Amino acid sequence: MMNEKKPLITSGICQAHCPTRWCCSVQCFVPVPVYPEQIQTIEQFSGKKDFYEKTGSDYTLKTRENQYCIFFDDQKKECSIYPVRPFDCLIYPFDFYAKGNEGWWLVWDCPYSQRLSPDHSEQILTYFETHYAQEFFRIWDYANDSIDPDNPEGFRMLRKMNLTPYFR
């Protein structure tokens, strides 16, 4: 039986083995999607209001000239809004590819993900599916923008998402 305790996603591995924090940059990714409730939470936490932009009908976090997230602290090499970070950041290094009503899990090849065992990865994915289904649907249409499943450069496809009982 799976432990109901929230699985540990982040660890000191990121601090010790990934000095560039490319996950906080748009060098390899599209800007991070945010939705109105997240914007309000981030505003309250950070005291900032001009940190996102409207892209079509969606909202994304702004990035700076160096291509890093507006909330990335260059000195400390960490996220300044970590406790309220957007959902896309919360599930990292995992991500998903959506096509119609079908989704596939993938994991980005970073120092942390390369140390995850298949069992631990599966625990994390199951936790996400059972606790964050509604969050996935909020950004479902955004999921196709940066991922080409036929050319898996920088990531590994894992398995089909199991959101059937939760699907909109």
95 and 55, same structural domain?
no
pLDDT value of position 3: 39
66 and 110, same structural domain?
no
Look at residue 141 and tell me if it is in a domain: yes
Round to whole Å and give the CA distance between 58 and 127: 26
Residue 9's Cβ-count burial label (10 Å; 0-12, 13-18, 19+) is middle
pLDDT digits 0-9 by tens, 35-46: 888 999 999 999
Strand partners of residue 110? none
> For the chain, what is the domain count?
2
127 and 54, same structural domain?
no
Q: How far apart are the first and last CA of the chain?
A: 27
**Which residues in the chain land under pLDDT 70?**
1-17, 19-20, 22, 26-29, 141-147, 164-168
pLDDT digits 0-9 by tens, 87-113: 888 888 888 888 777 888 988 888 778
Round to whole Å and give the CA distance between 155 and 110: 9
pLDDT value of position 51: 95
